[in-house]
Amino acid sequence: MSMPSRESSISPAAWMRANLFATPVDGAITVIMGGIIVMIAIPVIDWALLSAIWVGSDGSQCRVEGAGACWPFVTAKFNQFIFGRFPDEEQWRVISVFVLGGGAIAWLAWPNAPAKARIAVFLLMAFPFLAALLLAGGVLGLAPVETNLWGGMLITLVVAFVGIVASLPLGVLLALGRQSELPIVRLVCVGFIEFWRAVPLVIFLFMASNMLPLFFPAGVTVDKLVRALVAVALFSSAYMAEVVRGGLQAVPKGQFEAALSLGMGYWRAMVLIVLPQALRHVLPGIVNTFIGLFKDTSLVYVIGLFDMLGVITVNLTDPVWFSAQTAATGYVFVAFIFWIFCFAMSRYSVRLEENLGQSRGANSYASLR
Amino acid sequence: MTQSNSPSADHIIHISGLNKSFGDLHVLKDVDLTVCAGNKIVVCGPSGSGKSTLIRCINRLEAHDSGTIQVDGKELGDDLRAVEEVRREVGMVFQQFNLFPHLSILENCTLAPIQVRKVPRPEAEKQAMALLERVRIPEQAHKFPNQLSGGQQQRAAIARSLCMTPKIMLFDEPTSALDPEMIKEVLDVMLDLAEGGMTMIVVTHEMGFARTVADRILFMDEGRILEDASPTEFFDSPKHARTKEFLSQILDQTGH
């Protein structure tokens, strides 16, 4: 991310001359584009900050002519936005899960933090069960909380986390299976991938929510959230499989042969030699899939699960907060929260790539000017 | 010098009636070959003659279509366990080195001993350092493969194979991808290995190396071993016209 040293000592005026006004055409483009940016930025800033309503116990002030964003709407619905309808007195359990999971992720993202392997094992092996226990309750004296009460950011993060954690290993297995020498394995994997990739996620969610129960034997019920989680995980693992396949193809066959010739079996050669290289090659694609998955979580709204977007959408019908600006305010706020999560993932992947040396040196076209 | 016909227990490799095709291309045709422990065999021949495929069959990187291959007393076939046991005893050095780019040179050398042979890490590292010393690149141990020259990478690849303490070493055109000035450093390491008594099968066109090191030279053409002779016989009185033609071409070219 460092600026090239040859530019660092140049004054702002000189930088602008060199980069924005080098030729008359450059200058014209700069002026036109600058004008467009200013024309968009002024009303946005005015709406979001200058004319915005900041306090209020209902939507009355937001209904005033010329009012900007209706921020009190967000503050008033903030609890629902985070927890959905999770009972107030049990919300400490959600907070504990956020702190544990967020803490573990932050630990892993911190450069040179100690004991990363142990934290990773905790996050992937122990944390999901611990979180399920804390959130669902019903044991250890924790009151049970039905999943239809879960909502908001909680649902978004649960669906995204499960999808991300399940889709990478499943995707890797599918990608390996697709290359298998065994025709049955190959056929099953190709069939799975092509089936899940060719049908929209929304349809799977509808089917998981409405059709699947018809096939279960009488008396057997599977929680709606669990069904949605399975659908999302399988759907994204099909995409992940194709990303990983690209990475596998980029690893020369000689790497696998060298590993075999040292006496390693298929799985050792794959896990120790081929996959570390393959996954590095496609890290941007993997993160891209994660980001896509994170945003797709809002589709669970269609089966009656209320994620961040769902909570805001439902509250738009609240007559207390009815105003011309309520919807825009809510959607901008949700968009902003989604953006924070996705941008963080994107930046983290950029840093990972830099650490892995993939964006430097001979691999970077930027160095070939 | 030629011991191929003496039936004895020290036949470490025994190949008979070997056939291999890639689709319509019949690459190996009824190949028979016996190798005794300690043999140094150089395989040469025009490109496409099947020499690489032959040695790749010996550690089953290629599965043969018919015939039998016994290595170190084990028959190579569909039994994966036997194949992996053989691969542990047979080191292979590739034209493109195939070092693992995501691991340091030392890790390249210690990975298989630790993972496959279950050697404790400190011991594996000690042994790897000793072998890196032997191939004269101990100072490169903590670098990554792409920081080394081609010759250094190939020597590291040889050390990596030796770390598994193999009984047999296969070399598949080990110097073909190297710049000319680096060929000698790799050949010197191979010479040192030969003097240490290692059983070696080397696919190469380095005729100087063949003359000094080999006790048998095989000449292959169109999937058959046409010539199997001591270096003196091979260079001075080759039996086949194809061998003579090949020798005159390759000796002209390299100026020997």
- Tell me which residue in B92, B96, B116 faces A264 most closely, judged by beta carbons: B116
- How far is CA B135 from its chain centroid? 16
Answer yes or no: is pLDDT of B129 > 80. yes
Cα torsion B122, B125, B130, B133: sign: negative
Answer yes or no: is pLDDT of A365 > 70. no
Q: Give dist(CA A82, CA A306) in Å, integer.
A: 11
Q: Give dist(CA A357, CA A41) in Å, integer.
A: 37
Q: Does the beta-carbon distance from A262 to B116 stay under 8 Å? A: yes
Q: Does the beta-carbon distance from B92 to A276 stay under 8 Å? A: no
Summarize pLDDT for B70-127 with one digit per residue, the tens. Answer: 999 899 998 889 999 999 999 999 999 999 999 999 999 999 999 999 999 999 999 9
Q: Give dist(CA A86, CA A94) in Å, integer.
A: 9
Domains parsed from chain A with CATH numbers: 12-50 (no CATH), 78-86+145-359 (1.10.3720.10)
Answer yes or no: is pLDDT of A58 > 60. yes
Beta strand B25-36 with B40-44: parallel, antiparallel or unpaired?
unpaired
Amino acid found at A31:
V
Q: Does the beta-carbon distance from B102 to A276 stay under 8 Å? A: yes
Mean pLDDT of chain A: 85
Contacts of B112 in chain A (CB under 8 A): 259, 262-264
Which stretch of A90-94, A360-364, B55-59, B144-148 has the lowest confidence by average pLDDT? Answer: A360-364
- What pTM, to 2 d.p., does this model score? 0.82
Q: Give dist(CA A19, CA A80) in Å, integer.
A: 48
Burial class (CB in 10 A: 0-12, 13-18, 19+), A73: buried
Answer yes or no: is pLDDT of A46 > 90. no
Summarize pLDDT for A153-210 with one digit per residue, the tens. Answer: 898 999 999 999 899 999 999 999 999 889 999 999 999 999 999 999 889 888 888 8
Contacts of A263 in chain B (CB under 8 A): 84-85, 87-88, 112, 116-117, 164
Answer yes or no: is pLDDT of A284 > 90. no
pLDDT of residue B9: 59
Q: Give dist(CA A210, CA A212) in Å, integer.
A: 6
Q: Give dist(CA B105, CA B188) in Å, integer.
A: 20
The ipTM value here is: 0.91
pLDDT of residue A17: 86
- The residue written with tokens 């191929």 in the block is B4
Q: Are B100 and B108 in contact (CB under 8 A)?
A: yes
pLDDT of residue B253: 65
Answer yes or no: is pLDDT of B213 > 60. yes
